[in-house]
Structure 1
Amino acid sequence: METWTLSLLLVSLHGAAAVTHSLKYFYTSSSGLTNFPVFVAVGMVDDLQMFHYDSNTKRAEPKQDWMSRVTEEDPEYWKRNTENCMGAEQDNINNIEVAKQRFNQTGGVHMVQNMYGCEWDDETNEVKGYEQHAFDGEDFLSLDLKTGTWIAPKPQAVITKHKLDNNKALIAQKNNYYTQLCPEWLKKYLKYGSSSLMRTELPFVSLLQKSPSSPVSCHATGFYPDRASLFWRKDGVELHEDVDLGEILRNHDGTFQMSVDLKLSSVPAEDWKKYECVFQLSGVEKENVTRLDKAVIRTNAEKPFDMTIIFIVIAAVAVLALVVIGGLVAYRKMKAKKPQTYMATPQNPPPPISESGSDSSSADGANSSAPLTP
């Protein structure tokens, strides 16, 4: 089994047109760490975080504005999920201690991670559920829904596997959750957040090159969703050699970016016009095509500084400093002559009250802590 990691699913559109939505939950428990919550739970819809809970706040709260709509149909939603997360917190704290005993470890930093959820194909209506557990970053236990059994990649997990395999009621409960309840909640979240989750945003595409001998990078940014493809074509045929496709990355505003490099060291200048960069986005029929043209390539070549501009900036800063100093001197003289009384008016509001707040949340799902046995 490979080291347990959390990664995004990258879908190539010109190879498959299926649109898959996902609902995922991540639990992280730790020991031996300072200034970090003992337990953190997050939920994600299509890889966008929509709730958060941690052991410091003890409260499940929404991370997206549209998640507040859930209480219109289910007023007890946040209370119930706060209680669910508090229960999972206790289970995971216990799991760390049991796992440490299994691996003959005492002190140091240790971590238990759980990931569970489901995927739903909105074209084929196919549903896929999964549940995985890890200790210190490595696979520990996973559920095989097809066989209704647990997989133990580590000898230390065999005890738990046998215990859970014999619990037929628990397996039936989880099967019902992953095949019925989880997809139902996923569809609800997609409805609540349709304006953002189901939106389509086209990218800004540019050609970049570090130096004349470097590959030309076709960079697309600001697109949504992440079900997109980016590739180079020559004479209308997609290229697979001398190209390097990068990963799809999330921007700070929730949109995505990606790039694909093209090596041109052996391509004559007169053949550049035969190349073009193509961007395709799920749900959009028209391609975004950018032809290879030296005139539009942005480079890192440095331009000489204009010393005149630098002198103007220095002079402006000096004048501004003199104005500020003069204003402070005049203000102090005026204040010394006449004391002022504070009055709260619409134009002069009272000083703000300092409040401390917190942000956390959870989601409506099965408690997948999978308690271990000593």
Structure 2
Amino acid sequence: MSTMLPVLLSLLLLVGLANTQDGRYSLRFHYTGVSRPKAEVSHFQATGYLNDLAFLHYDSNGQVAKPLGPWTQVKGMMDWEKETQLQKAREDTFMETLKDIMNYYQDGGNHTLQGRFGCELRDNNYCGAFWTYIYDGQEYIKFITEIPAWFPRQTKAVFTEVKWETEDSLQRPKAYLEEECPQLLRNYLQYNKTFLDSKDPHSKLYLSTHAPSVSFTSQEGPENIRTLKFLAYNFCPGPISMYWTQTGNTVETDEWGDIVPGEDGTYHSWVTVKVPSSDTGPYFCHVQHSILAQTLTVLWNERHESQAAGTS
């Protein structure tokens, strides 16, 4: 078993990863595919999380799975060459699914597909899992392990359900969630559990928690439609919630960005809405994060392209 740097202990404690007094640990993966990415933006990326801290990243530009943050110092936990091949194969399958969904809707425009799946252990025993796909910000299809079955959440998702259940046994995703994923998590815990459980209050080396900084952009598009984008960045730990409102009513989201880890251990994400170009607002974006004492609300209108920084 490899020895990890003392900074890992402090990092895990500060960002909340070691909230394991009840013996709970989680492993999850977030995938994002984009049909028409902007220049220098990957059309596919995958991030792995141990609890709330990113430890693995892969994208279609580099096509290499690599460790993040303190996990760059851990030796023997993963075979990164094999992991790279696995993520390449998953990229192909994932982007094929995005193409299929676009065909079902007969829409070749700019679209985003997100996949989120993972499992949880409690006292070393399997205690839950999830697997869901989100298309253009709306839940598309999810897997129910108890049945087992894929459960469509949009009308066109019935086509995906039929295809997947025709091409593959339902026992495969069930086995992955209930057997393979927990075993993978147990393997990772051989290198992390001691540090996750440690409660050393005297440690001085740590990565500070950060409240999100935020900014707006707006872009005119075809058919007199404007896209409003709200970006949250430099926040840690990773989990964050963002949503738009107008006159007190929630506005339907056009796209949710994945929670993307940076090289410095912080994260960024975004949420967009589409509005008529003639609409001058006001619109409000709301941010909820563990470091904020209350929900951060930021105003956008045509005369005020807002920029603000979150404070606790």
Deviation of 1:69 (Å):
4.4
Say if 1:150 and 1:45 are closer, same or farther in 2 by CA, change over 3 A.
same
Distance, in Å, in 1 between the alignment partners of 2:69 and 2:100 is 36
Q: Which residue of 2 aligns with 1:112?
A: 113
Q: Is structure 2 residue 123 aligned with structure 1 residue 122?
A: yes
Matches within 5 A, 1:355-366: none
Q: Is the 8 A contact 2:126 2:178 kept in 1?
A: no
Q: Is structure 2 residue 60 aligned with structure 1 residue 55?
A: yes
* Count of matched residue pairs: 201
Q: Is structure 2 residue 19 aligned with structure 1 residue 32?
A: no
Deviation of 1:186 (Å):
1.1
Instruction: In structure 1, give the amino acid aligned to 2:158.
Output: V
Q: Is the 8 A contact 1:67 1:189 kept in 2?
A: no
Say if 1:201 and 1:89 are closer, same or farther in 2 by CA, change over 3 A.
same
Q: 1:250 aligns with which of 233, 237, 241?
A: 237
Deviation of 1:196 (Å):
4.2
More helix, by proportion: 1
1:333-366 Cα distance to aligned partner (Å, 9 max, x none): xxxxxxxxxxxxxxxxxxxxxxxxxxxxxxxxxx
Q: Which residue of 2 aligns with 1:42?
A: 47
1:53-73 Cα distance to aligned partner (Å, 9 max, x none): 01111111111444664636x
Q: Which residue of 1 aligns with 2:285?
A: none
More strand, by proportion: 2
Distance, in Å, in 2 between the alignment partners of 1:126 and 1:86 is 28
Query: Is there any run of 5+ residues in structure 1 with no aligned partner, and where?
Result: 1-9, 204-220, 224-247, 262-374
Q: Which residue of 2 aligns with 1:323?
A: none
1:133-183 Cα distance to aligned partner (Å, 9 max, x none): 11111111110000011100111010121233345x632222222112211
| TM-score normalised by L of structure 1 | 0.47
Instruction: In structure 2, give the amino acid aligned to 1:190.
Output: L
Instruction: In structure 2, give the amino acid aligned to 1:106.
Output: G
Q: 1:103 aligns with which of 96, 105, 113?
A: 105
Distance, in Å, in 2 between the alignment partners of 1:133 and 1:106 is 19
Matches within 5 A, 1:295-306: none
Give me the CA root mean square deviation: 3.4
1:43-91 Cα distance to aligned partner (Å, 9 max, x none): 000111011001111111111444664636x6xx212211111112122
Q: Is structure 2 residue 153 aligned with structure 1 residue 153?
A: yes
Query: Is there any run of 5+ residues in structure 2 with no aligned partner, and where?
Result: 1-15, 210-234, 239-263, 267-288, 295-312
Deviates more, 1:145-154 or 1:87-96: 87-96
Q: Is the 8 A contact 1:23 1:117 kept in 2?
A: yes
The SS at the match of 1:71 is coil
| TM-score normalised by L of structure 2 | 0.55
1:227-263 Cα distance to aligned partner (Å, 9 max, x none): xxxxxxxxxxxxxxxxxxxxx9629778x964658xx
Q: Percent identity?
A: 22
